[in-house]
Chain A
Amino acid sequence: MHGPVATTKGEAIARAEEAAERADALRQRADWLTHAILILGVALFALPIWIVLMGSTHDVATISRGEVPLLPGPYAIENYVAAWTEGSARTTRVPVSAMMLNSFVMAILIAVGKIAISILSAYAVVFFSFPGRMLAFWAIFITLMLPVEVRIFPTFKVVSDLGMINTYAGLIVPLIASATATLLFRQFFLTIPDELVEAAKIDGAGPMRFFKDVVVPLSVTNMAALFVILFVYGWNQYLWPLLITTTGDVETIVIGIVRMIGSEADTDWHLVMATTVLALLPPVAIVILMQRWFVKGLVETEK
């Protein structure tokens, strides 16, 4: 009466099996399609990197002829040694090792500085009540929301008046405050129960002691996650270092790559490619090394 009724038990079982098979086939097709899309995506992202990687193993002539090699060539070691020790002889003449060091110092100091400053300002905003607290928070927040590009001329003027052109300080200080990190820490601190603060007060911990003994240890996973993001941010800085570095002494690798590309005839493409691969390594290494902390941060939710 209500839809088709199976006449026998056997028929019903057969029908059920058939339906299950059909579902399986459908699922397999769906799996296949999903994988195809994913593989396409991976190829799209990985192919340029593959070309760069392969290009860095050929000599300058191959690339200058306009070939795009997809297979490794015989010059890998020579190219990397040349880039690392000498750099591009025809353009910058700064060894990549020096530029890497500059980038590394800048990225580390920006990441560490941003974390240090934002955790302290978030601590002040969350745990202390002082007049104009919310005003202070929003002032910090809104000012820092402006990207470097918007305030680049006044910032440049200030930095140059302070004589910080071509110094690490000039590279780092203008980038060192972070609204995002301040906000993230603030949100995290708001989840720390009031009772914990009060327990520490009764235990006799002052504000700095509480910060050092309780807040910082609890924030370690957040700090690690932020460090990864901020390190990559610092490493990839382009516009600001471009303005502030005029000599090779504090030149970062991102700027170095740009300077290596002179006119078409002068460019050591094989070295540019090798340098690019080298420039990729530290951020990748940081992400891979810190991955454990991410996972830990996700698993350890209980407070």
Chain B
Amino acid sequence: MATLELRGIRKSFGAVHVLHGIDLQVAEGEFIVIVGASGCGKSTLLRIVAGLETATEGSVLIGGADVTRLEPKDRDIAMVFQNYALYPHMSVFDNMAYGLRIRGLPRAEIEGRVRRTAEMLGLGELLRRKPRELSGGQRQRVAMGRAIVREPKLFLFDEPLSNLDAKLRVQMRAEIKRLQRRLGVTSLYVTHDQVEAMTLGDRLVVMNGGRAEQVATPMEVWREPANIYVAGFIGAPAMNFLHGRLCSEGDAVDLRAGCAIALAAPPAGVSDAEVTVGIRPEHVRISSHGAAGAIPLKVDLVEPLGAESLIHGILPSGEGLTVRATDCSPLAGTSLPIVLPAEHLHLFGGDGRRLRLAHARNATARVRAGA
């Protein structure tokens, strides 16, 4: 168990800049998930922490000690790879024991640690099998076991679940979470899957184009995304974005879709400006025809998911909007009146950053008819 600190990590491959200065502080026992689309530099960041890549600039501190120049083996870390990277010619036992043997642990201690870990992971019966005789989930477990027996200061996970089928992934996700809680080892987990990120992480690092866009708890990221990228990336189905204009007093926003929504408090220091208005599909309310402030949504496609339906439609402005609705499944082609509650709106400025609203949660909708 140890803390991890990243200071101004930059990485370039020749002329290509992959990371543009990442700072991060991880507390002891914390589970940090680095999430982002492919190519955002998240794996590179993890590999720099592991010591498999060297940072062009910046430093990595594990447990307060600068390890930037150390080899992976001297950093006291363990890593779980996407394709498991088990040694194909070694039995499960040998795969798990290999790192311990290299470190010269006494035979009895190795035996004990491997058996304990194998029991914990339900691999007790499989110790003599070769990796090719195991299922995907079992291999995944062996890869975890190999990391756990080492009792490292830091766990690194590089998309460990992406080779599993959907059902197994959900199961292993819960298992990883439980294990990490139980072992209390500081962990860094890279994934492109936002559900994995939300469910696993104590805190998320949302990355885009080599930058950490937001570092916060999953609920903070979901409730108050720092910018348009984060807002669109976290949450499924993705947040709707509409064009709008903040009025000159700054206390209301005119949507291009044809309605104005009053804000309880104006965003600090901004008025009379183009803004992007975001609203999550689950926050769009379905109203009744003729209700004040209702916008007609022309239903284009309905995806029933059982407990709820996803309604994809087009607003009068031509902008698309997705609504997540329970007990409502209109026919395609019909018109559905919808209301965008002011308390659930996210406003983003011209630079894509979130505009902070004072007491936005308590805002009441005041609708100016006709706008």
Does A204 sit within 8 A of B, measured CB to CB?
A: yes
Does A264 sit within 8 A of B, measured CB to CB?
A: no
- Residues of chain B within 8 A of A205, CB atoms compared: 73, 98, 102
Residue ranges of A at the interface with B (Cβ–Cβ < 8 Å): 193, 195-196, 198-205, 209, 213-214, 217-218, 302-303
Q: Which residue of B lies closest to A195 (CB)?
A: B85
Near A by CB (< 8 A), chain B positions 28-79 give 50-52, 71-73, 77-79
- Residues of chain A within 8 A of B103, CB atoms compared: 204
- Residues of chain A within 8 A of B86, CB atoms compared: 199
- For the residues of A in contact with B, the DSSP-based class is helix
24 A-B pairs whose Cβ atoms sit less than 8 Å apart in the complex: A193-B85, A195-B81, A195-B82, A195-B84, A196-B87, A198-B79, A198-B85, A199-B81, A199-B146, A201-B72, A202-B50, A202-B73, A202-B77, A203-B98, A203-B99, A203-B146, A204-B73, A204-B99, A205-B102, A213-B87, A217-B89, A302-B88, A302-B132, A303-B88
Q: Measured between alpha carbons, how far is A203 from B110 in the docked complex, in Å?
A: 14
In the complex, the answer to whether B81 meets A203 with C-beta atoms within 8 Å is no
Q: How many residues of B contact A (CB 8 A)?
A: 24
Of the candidates A201, A204, A303, the one whose C-beta lies within 8 Å of that of B52 is A201
- For the residues of B in contact with A, the DSSP-based class is loop
Of the candidates A195, A203, A303, the one whose C-beta lies within 8 Å of that of B102 is A203
Does B180 sit within 8 A of A, measured CB to CB?
A: no
In the complex, the answer to whether B85 meets A201 with C-beta atoms within 8 Å is no
In the complex, the answer to whether B87 meets A198 with C-beta atoms within 8 Å is no
- Residues of chain B within 8 A of A209, CB atoms compared: 102
Apart from A195-B81, A202-B79, A302-B132, 11 more pairs, CB < 8 Å: A193-B83, A195-B82, A201-B52, A201-B71, A201-B72, A202-B99, A204-B73, A209-B102, A213-B98, A218-B88, A302-B88
> A-B pairs with the 3 shortest C-beta distances?
A204-B73, A195-B85, A203-B99
Interface string of B85-116 (1 = CB under 8 A from A): 11111000000001100110000000000000
Q: Measured between alpha carbons, how far is A193 from B52 in the docked complex, in Å?
A: 14
Q: Measured between alpha carbons, how far is A205 from B87 in the docked complex, in Å?
A: 13
Q: Min CB distance, A289 to chain B, in Å?
A: 22
In the complex, the answer to whether B71 meets A196 with C-beta atoms within 8 Å is no
Q: Measured between alpha carbons, how far is A214 from B89 in the docked complex, in Å?
A: 8
Q: Measured between alpha carbons, how far is A218 from B78 in the docked complex, in Å?
A: 23
Q: Measured between alpha carbons, how far is A218 from B50 in the docked complex, in Å?
A: 26
Q: Min CB distance, A274 to chain B, in Å?
A: 44
Q: Measured between alpha carbons, how far is A205 from B86 in the docked complex, in Å?
A: 14
Q: Min CB distance, B366 to chain A, in Å?
A: 58
Q: Min CB distance, B150 to chain A, in Å?
A: 8
Q: Which residue of B lies closest to A218 (CB)?
A: B89
